[in-house]
C-alpha cells in the first residue's frame, strides 16, 4: 500500500508510522522532564512552607478550576474521537471533532484568563507589586483564614511563583497545541487524512492528552491541597 | 588467523576518481543547502557553523590568556574580564562542544553506519540546525550589545539580581540551542531503534553508534531540565517571581540542583560521542576488532546512567548535607569504572595490532593520554576532602580542559581527519596534519599542565589578577595557548586547501570495515544503491579482506 505521504527514506509505511509514534513518545518524555523540574520545586517548597501554601491555595477558585478540568477532559474526549474518525476515514466527523477540541481548548484558556486577571487585581502576581496584607490580616478582607506571621506570609509569593510558572507553561503548551490544531483541521478539511494516513492526527492526539494529564496533576496540587480530611 | 589479515593492503589511490554523482553536486544553489533534508548536507552546515563559533570562543580564550600574562589587571577592566570568560564558556559549551561530534560526524555517519537512507526525521534534523543558528545569533547579539558576565553557570542570585548585562538574551540563546540538542538526540534514538538495515542487530552496530545512543539518552532526558531552570531564571529577572530568590522564600541552591542535573550529564553528552570516534579510529589503525566490544558498548550506557546521579559533586562547598555529599562522592567515583573499562579495552585493542600512525591515530593517542589524566584528576575532585581544597581553583579549570579539550577536541579532530576523505572525497595533506596533531598536543600540555600546579598552590579561577609568584606558570600557560592556537589554525587552512587540491581518496582509503567505507566517497544522496544486508560483526577485518572486489560501488 503506497501512500502519497510515504517518505522515501523509510522502507515501508509501517516503519514510518512506528518511527513517528516512537519519536512522539520520546518527545513526551522530554516534556515530563521539563515539567518535572517544576514539580520538584513544588514538592520542596510545599514541605518547607506548608502553611503559606495552604492559605495561598485557598485563594484559587475551585469551581473555576473544576470547570476547567471538565472542559479539558471533554477536549481530550473529542480528540480521541477525532483519532477514531480518522481511522475509519470519516472526513466530516474528523473536522467536526477537531473543531470541538479546539473550541474547548480555547474555553480553557478563557477561564484561565479570568483567573489570572483576578490575581492581577488582588496583587497576587509575584514581583514588585506583590501584596501580602491579605495573608497577614485576613479578617480585614472578610476571610476566615488564620493570619500568617509576616515572614511566612512572604512565602505565599513562592506559591504564586510556582502557580504562574506551572500553569503558565501548561497554558503555553495549550496555545502551541491550538495553533497545531488549526493547521491539522485545515489539512483534514483538504482530505489529507481520509485515505488511511492518520499518523499526524494520532501523534498530535498523544501530545494533547499529555497536556491534559499535566493539568490533572496541577489541579489537585494547586487547588485542592487543603481539601484532604484533617487539614 | 592473525598472520593473514595483518598484512595491510592500502588501495592504489592514483587510480581512484571522484564519482560523478554525489550528495554535494546533487543539487546546486544556496537554497538547496538551506532547505535540504539530507543528513549529510545538514552535517556540513553544522560543521561550518560550529567551526565559526569555535574560533570566536577561541578568541576569548586567547584574550583571557593574554590578560593573565602579567599579575596586574592591566589589559582589561574586571567587568570586561568577567565577560571574556563567560562568553568563552557559553560559546564553547553550548555552541561548540555539545553539538560538535554528534551534529557533524554523528549526523553524517549515523544513518550510513546503520545502513539507512537518512535519519528518521529529516525535517526535524534541519529544524535542529535552524534552532542552533537562532541560539547562535542570540548569543552573538548578547555579545555585540555588551556581553554577559554570569559565567556559563548562570549562578543565582548573581544572574537574577546583581548584574545589569544581557542575561535574558543569553538565556534565550541557550534555551533555543537546547531544543536543537533535544531534537538531535531524539532523531538519533528513533533512527537507531527503527532504521537499522536487515541483519544490523544491536551487537553488530559500530561502537560509534552505541556511544551516540548513550549521549542521545542524556540529551533527551537532561536538556529539558536545563530549559525549565533557564525559563525560571528569565522569569525571575523579568517579572520577579521568587522560586530562587531567598528574600521571597526561594532557595538559590535549588537552581544549582536543577542546573547541574543537566550540566553534569552534559559533560557526558560532550565526551561520549568523542569516545565513539576513538573506538573507530583505534580499531581501524590497529586493524583489529575493538577488544571487549560488548563491554565498551555497555560502558557507554553505564556512563549515561551513572551520569544522572552525580550532579551534586559540583555543590560540595555550597552547603549540601554531609550525608548527601558522601553518597554523591561515592557515585562520582563509580563513573570512573566504565570510563576505565573503555581506556583499558582500547589499550588491549592496540596490543598486537598492526598499528600505523596516520593523523587520526595521533589525535587518538593524544585523547588516550590526556583523557586519562583528565579523568583521574576528576577522581581527586570527587573526593570530599580534596575537593574543598581544589574546587574553584585552576586545578578544576585544568581538569575539565583536559577532559573537554584534551579529550573531546582531540577526538573531534581525530574524527574530522578520519572521515574527511568520506565527507569530501579528498585526502588531507598527511605530513602537515601530523605536524598539526603534534603541535596541538605540545601546546595543550604546555597550556594546562601548569594550571594543575597553579590550582594546587591556590590560584582561584575567574580572577584577572594574581600574586607575582604565580607569574612563571602563567607565562608558560599563555605561551602554550599560543602554540595551541597555531595547532588549531593549521587544520582550518590545510583542510580548506584539500577541498580543491587534495589527492582523490577513493572509497576506502583506510581499509576500514564500517558500512560508510563500502560506499563511494563522497556518498550518494540516498547513501546506498540498494539497502545493504549485514551478515558480519562490526570491525570484521577478515570479512573485509574476503569481500569481492567486483562490487559496483559507484554509479554514473
Q: Looking at beta carbons, which residues of chain A come within 8 Å of B224? A: 30-31, 33-34, 36-37
Q: CB of B286 within 8 A of CB of B196?
A: no
Confidence of residue B109 (pLDDT cuts 50, 70, 90): very high
Indicate if the pLDDT at residue B103 is higher than 70.
Answer: yes
Following DSSP, what letter does each residue of B251-283 receive, concatenated? -HHHHHHHHHHHHHHHHHHHHHHHHHHHHHHHH
Give pLDDT, residue B207: 97
Nearest chain B residue to A48, by CA: B249
Please indicate if any CB of chain A lies within 8 Å of the CB of B194. Answer: yes
Please indicate if any CB of chain A lies within 8 Å of the CB of B240. Answer: yes
Number of Cα atoms under 13 Å in the Cβ half of residue A135:
27
- Closest residue by Cα to residue B440 from B406, B399, B395, B401: B406
Number of Cα atoms under 13 Å in the Cβ half of residue B27:
12
- Summarised one tens digit per residue, pLDDT across range A10-27 is 888 889 999 999 999 999
Following DSSP, what letter does each residue of A103-127 receive, concatenated? HHHHHHHHHHHHHHHHHHHTT-SSS
Confidence of residue B556 (pLDDT cuts 50, 70, 90): very low
- Summarised one tens digit per residue, pLDDT across range A196-205 is 889 999 999 9
Give pLDDT, residue A138: 87
Closest-CA distance, B195 to chain A, in angstroms, reads 8
Q: Which domains does chain B have, with CATH numbers?
A: 32-546 (1.20.210.10)
* pTM over the 0.90 mark: yes
Confidence of residue B5 (pLDDT cuts 50, 70, 90): very low
Q: Looking at beta carbons, which residues of chain B come within 8 Å of A26? A: 186, 189-190, 220
Please indicate if any CB of chain A lies within 8 Å of the CB of B248. Answer: yes
Please indicate if any CB of chain B lies within 8 Å of the CB of A165. Answer: yes
Confidence of residue B540 (pLDDT cuts 50, 70, 90): very high
Q: Using the beta-carbon criterion (under 8 Å), do A127 and B223 form an inter-chain contact?
A: no
Q: Using the beta-carbon criterion (under 8 Å), do B248 and A154 form an inter-chain contact?
A: yes
- Closest residue by Cα to residue B140 from B53, B45, B58, B61: B53
Give pLDDT, residue B545: 85
What integer best gives the mean pLDDT of chain B?
A: 93
Interface test mutation site (partner B, options A41, A42, A48, max chain B beta carbons within 10 A): A41
Nearest chain A residue to B527, by CA: A9
Give pLDDT, residue A3: 63
Element (H, E) at B327: helix B322-350
Give pLDDT, residue A72: 97
- Summarised one tens digit per residue, pLDDT across range B428-478 is 999 999 999 999 999 999 999 999 999 999 999 999 999 999 999 999 999
Indicate if the pLDDT at residue A66 is higher than 50.
Answer: yes
Give pLDDT, residue A7: 80
Q: CB of B313 within 8 A of CB of B328?
A: yes
**Greatest alpha-carbon span in chain B:** 76
Closest-CA distance, A172 to chain B, in angstroms, reads 13
C-alpha cell at B363: 589525535
- Summarised one tens digit per residue, pLDDT across range B171-206 is 999 999 999 999 999 999 999 999 999 999 999 999
Q: In the beta sheet, which residues pair with residue B426?
A: B504
Indicate if the pLDDT at residue B548 is higher than 80.
Answer: no
Smallest Cβ–Cβ distance between A9 and the set B122, B249, B261 belongs to B122
Interface test mutation site (partner A, options B241, B262, B532, max chain A beta carbons within 10 A): B241
Closest-CA distance, B238 to chain A, in angstroms, reads 9
Indicate if the pLDDT at residue A109 is higher than 80.
Answer: yes
Confidence of residue B14 (pLDDT cuts 50, 70, 90): low
Q: Classify domain A30-223 at the CATH class level.
A: mainly alpha
How many Cβ pairs closer than 8 A exist between chain A and B? 119
Indicate if the pLDDT at residue B528 is higher than 80.
Answer: yes
Torsion, Cα B418 B371 B458 B152, to 10 degrees, reads 60
Indicate if the pLDDT at residue A1 is higher than 60.
Answer: no
Round to whole Å and give the CA distance between B290 and B296. Answer: 8
Nearest chain A residue to B197, by CA: A11
Q: Looking at beta carbons, which residues of chain A come within 8 Å of B227? A: 34
Please indicate if any CB of chain A lies within 8 Å of the CB of B189. Answer: yes
Please state the rounded mean pLDDT for residues B37-63.
97
Coil, strand or helix at B528: coil
Q: Is there a cis peptide before residue B286, judged by omega within 30 degrees of 0?
A: no
Please indicate if any CB of chain B lies within 8 Å of the CB of A157. Answer: yes
Q: Using the beta-carbon criterion (under 8 Å), do B186 and A27 form an inter-chain contact?
A: yes
Confidence of residue A141 (pLDDT cuts 50, 70, 90): confident
Q: Kindly list the domain boundaries of chain A, sorted by start residue.
A: 30-223
Q: Using the beta-carbon criterion (under 8 Å), do B225 and A49 form an inter-chain contact?
A: no
Closest-CA distance, A157 to chain B, in angstroms, reads 6
Q: Using the beta-carbon criterion (under 8 Å), do B186 and A30 form an inter-chain contact?
A: yes
Give pLDDT, residue B550: 46
Mark residue B28 as left, alpha or beta (left: phi above 0; alpha: psi -120 to 50; beta: remaining). Answer: beta
Give pLDDT, residue A229: 47
- Summarised one tens digit per residue, pLDDT across range B262-306 is 999 999 999 999 999 999 999 999 999 999 999 999 999 999 999
Nearest chain A residue to B252, by CA: A41
C-alpha cell at B344: 583499558
Q: If you ran DSSP here, which 8-state letter would residue B504 be given?
A: B
Smallest Cβ–Cβ distance between B186 and the set A8, A23, A160 belongs to A23
Please indicate if any CB of chain B lies within 8 Å of the CB of A47. Answer: no
Q: CB of A23 within 8 A of CB of B216?
A: no
Confidence of residue B3 (pLDDT cuts 50, 70, 90): very low
**Higher model confidence: residue B545 or residue A231?**
B545
Q: In the beta sheet, which residues pair with residue B504?
A: B426
Coil, strand or helix at A159: helix
- Summarised one tens digit per residue, pLDDT across range B377-434 is 999 999 999 999 999 999 999 999 999 999 999 999 999 999 999 999 999 999 999 9
Please indicate if any CB of chain A lies within 8 Å of the CB of B231. Answer: yes
C-alpha cell at A81: 474521537
Nearest chain A residue to B179, by CA: A30
Q: Using the beta-carbon criterion (under 8 Å), do B248 and A161 form an inter-chain contact?
A: yes
The length of chain A, given as a count of residues: 231
Q: Looking at beta carbons, which residues of chain B come within 8 Å of A34? A: 224-225, 227-228
- Summarised one tens digit per residue, pLDDT across range B59-86 is 999 999 999 999 999 999 999 999 999 9
Confidence of residue A231 (pLDDT cuts 50, 70, 90): very low
Q: Using the beta-carbon criterion (under 8 Å), do A128 and B240 form an inter-chain contact?
A: yes
Percent of chain B with pLDDT over 70: 96
Number of Cα atoms under 13 Å in the Cβ half of residue A19:
27
Percent of chain B with pLDDT over 90: 88
Give pLDDT, residue B13: 63
Smallest Cβ–Cβ distance between B194 and the set A19, A37, A158 belongs to A19
- If one counts every other C-beta atom within 10 angstroms of the C-beta of residue B63, the result is 19
Give pLDDT, residue B459: 96
How would you class B448 by CB atoms within 10 Å of its CB: exposed for 0-12, middle for 13-18, buried for 19 or more? Answer: buried
Give pLDDT, residue B453: 97
Give pLDDT, residue B2: 42
Closest-CA distance, B227 to chain A, in angstroms, reads 7
Smallest Cβ–Cβ distance between B221 and the set A33, A41, A155 belongs to A33
Q: Using the beta-carbon criterion (under 8 Å), do A31 and B258 form an inter-chain contact?
A: no
- Summarised one tens digit per residue, pLDDT across range A184-196 is 999 999 999 988 8
Q: Looking at beta carbons, which residues of chain A come within 8 Å of B39? A: none
Amino acid at each position: 500500500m503506497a501512500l502519497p505521504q510515504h517518505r522515501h527514506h523509510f522502507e515501508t509505511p509501517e516503519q514510518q508510522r512506528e518511527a513517528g509514534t516512537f519519536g512522539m513518545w520520546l518527545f513526551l518524555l522530554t516534556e515530563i522532564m521539563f515539567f518535572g523540574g517544576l514539580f520538584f520545586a513544588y514538592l520542596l517548597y510545599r514541605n518547607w512552607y506548608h502553611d503559606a501554601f495552604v492559605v495561598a491555595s485557598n485563594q484559587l477558585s475551585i469551581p473555576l478550576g473544576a470547570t476547567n478540568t471538565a472542559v479539558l477532559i471533554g477536549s481530550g474526549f473529542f480528540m480521541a474521537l477525532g483519532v477514531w474518525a480518522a481511522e475509519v476515514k470519516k472526513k466530516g466527523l474528523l473536522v467536526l471533532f477537531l473543531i470541538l477540541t479546539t473550541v474547548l481548548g480555547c474555553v480553557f484558556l478563557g477561564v484561565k484568563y479570568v483567573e489570572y486577571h483576578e490575581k492581577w487585581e488582588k496583587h497576587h502576581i509575584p514581583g514588585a507589586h506583590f501584596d501580602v496584607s491579605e495573608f497577614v490580616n485576613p479578617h480585614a478582607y472578610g476571610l476566615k483564614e488564620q493570619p500568617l506571621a509576616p515572614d511566612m506570609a512572604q512565602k505565599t509569593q513562592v506559591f504564586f511563583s510556582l502557580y504562574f510558572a506551572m500553569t503558565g507553561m501548561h497554558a503555553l503548551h495549550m496555545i502551541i497545541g491550538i495553533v497545531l490544531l488549526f493547521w491539522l483541521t485545515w489539512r483534514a478539511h483538504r482530505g489529507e487524512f481520509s485515505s488511511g494516513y492518520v499518523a499526524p492526527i494520532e501523534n498530535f492526539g498523544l501530545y494533547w492528552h499529555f497536556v491534559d494529564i499535566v493539568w490533572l496533576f496541577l489541579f489537585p496540587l494547586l487547588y485542592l491541597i487543603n481539601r484532604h480530611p484533617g487539614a | 588467523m592473525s598472520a593473514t589479515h595483518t598484512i595491510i593492503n592500502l588501495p592504489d589511490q592514483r587510480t581512484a576518481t571522484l564519482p560523478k554523482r554525489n550528495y554535494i553536486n546533487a543539487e546546486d544553489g544556496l537554497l538547496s543547502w538551506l532547505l535540504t533534508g539530507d543528513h549529510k548536507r545538514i552535517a556540513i552546515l553544522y560543521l561550518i557553523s560550529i567551526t565559526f563559533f569555535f574560533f570566536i570562543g577561541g578568541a576569548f580564550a586567547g584574550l583571557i590568556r593574554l590578560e593573565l600574562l602579567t599579575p596586574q589587571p592591566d589589559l582589561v577592566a574586571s567587568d570586561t574580564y568577567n565577560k571574556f570568560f563567560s562568553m568563552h564558556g557559553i560559546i564553547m559549551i553550548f555552541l561548540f562542544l555539545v553539538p560538535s561530534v554528534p551534529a557533524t560526524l554523528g549526523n553524517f555517519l549515523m544513518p550510513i553506519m546503520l545502513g539507512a537512507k537518512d535519519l528518521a526525521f529529516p525535517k526535524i534534523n534541519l529544524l535542529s540546525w535552524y534552532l542552533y543558528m537562532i541560539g547562535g545569533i542570540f548569543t552573538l547579539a548578547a555579545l555585540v550589545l555588551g556581553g554577559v558576565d554570569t559565567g556559563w553557570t548562570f549562578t543565582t542570585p548573581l544572574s537574577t539580581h546583581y548584574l545589569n548585562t544581557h542575561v535574558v538574551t543569553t538565556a534565550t540563546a541557550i534555551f533555543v540551542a537546547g531544543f536543537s540538542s533535544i531534537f538531535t538526540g531524539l532523531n538519533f534514538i528513533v533512527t537507531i531503534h527503527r532504521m537499522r538495515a536487515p541483519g544490523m542487530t544491536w551487537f553488530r552496530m559500530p561502537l560509534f553508534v552505541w556511544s551516540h545512543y548513550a549521549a542521545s539518552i542524556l540529551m533527551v532526558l537532561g536538556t529539558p531540565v536545563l530549559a525549565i531552570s533557564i525559563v525560571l531564571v528569565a522569569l525571575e529577572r523579568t517579572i520577579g517571581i521568587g522560586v530562587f530568590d531567598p528574600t521571597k522564600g526561594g532557595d538559590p541552591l535549588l537552581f544549582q540542583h536543577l542546573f547541574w542535573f543537566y550540566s553534569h550529564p552534559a559533560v557526558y553528552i560532550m565526551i561520549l560521542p568523542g569516545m565513539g570516534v576513538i573506538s573507530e579510529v583505534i580499531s581501524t589503525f590497529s586493524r583489529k576488532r575493538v577488544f571487549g566490544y560488548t563491554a565498551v558498548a555497555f560502558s557507554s550506557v553505564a556512563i549515561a546512567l551513572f551520569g544522572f546521579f552525580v550532579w551534586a559533586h559540583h555543590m560540595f562547598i555550597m552547603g549540601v548535607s554531609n550525608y548527601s555529599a558522601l553518597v554523591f562522592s561515592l557515585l562520582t567515583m563509580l563513573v570512573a569504572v566504565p570510563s576505565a573499562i573503555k581506556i583499558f579495552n582500547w589499550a588491549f585493542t592496540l596490543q598486537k595490532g598492526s598499528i600505523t600512525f596516520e593523523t587520526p591515530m595521533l589525535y587518538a593517542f593524544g585523547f588516550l593520554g590526556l583523557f586519562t589524566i583528565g579523568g583521574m584528576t576528576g577522581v581527586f575532585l570527587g573526593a570530599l576532602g580534596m575537593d574543598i581544597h581544589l574546587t574553584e581553583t585552576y586545578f578544576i579549570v585544568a581538569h575539565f580542559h583536559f577532559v573537554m579539550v584534551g579529550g573531546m577536541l582531540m577526538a573531534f579532530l581525530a574524527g574530522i581527519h578520519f572521515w574527511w576523505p568520506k565527507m569530501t572525497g579528498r585526502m588531507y595533506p598527511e605530513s602537515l596534519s601530523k605536524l598539526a596533531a603534534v603541535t596541538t598536543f605540545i601546546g595543550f600540555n604546555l597550556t594546562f599542565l601548569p594550571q594543575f600546579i597553579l590550582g594546587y598552590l591556590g590560584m582561584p579561577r575567574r580572577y584577572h589578577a594574581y600574586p607575582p609568584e604565580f607569574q612563571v606558570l602563567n607565562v608558560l600557560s599563555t605561551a602554550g595557548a599560543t602554540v595551541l592556537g597555531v595547532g588549531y589554525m593549521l587544520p582550518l587552512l590545510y583542510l580548506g586547501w584539500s577541498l580543491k587540491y587534495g589527492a582523490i581518496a577513493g572509497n576506502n582509503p583506510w581499509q576500514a570495515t564500517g558500512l560508510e567505507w563500502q560506499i563511494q566517497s563522497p556518498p550518494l544522496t540516498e547513501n546506498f544503491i540498494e539497502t545493504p544486508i549485514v551478515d558480519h560483526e562490526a570491525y570484521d577485518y577478515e570479512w573485509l579482506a574476503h569481500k569481492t572486489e567486483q562490487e559496483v560501488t559507484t554509479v554514473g
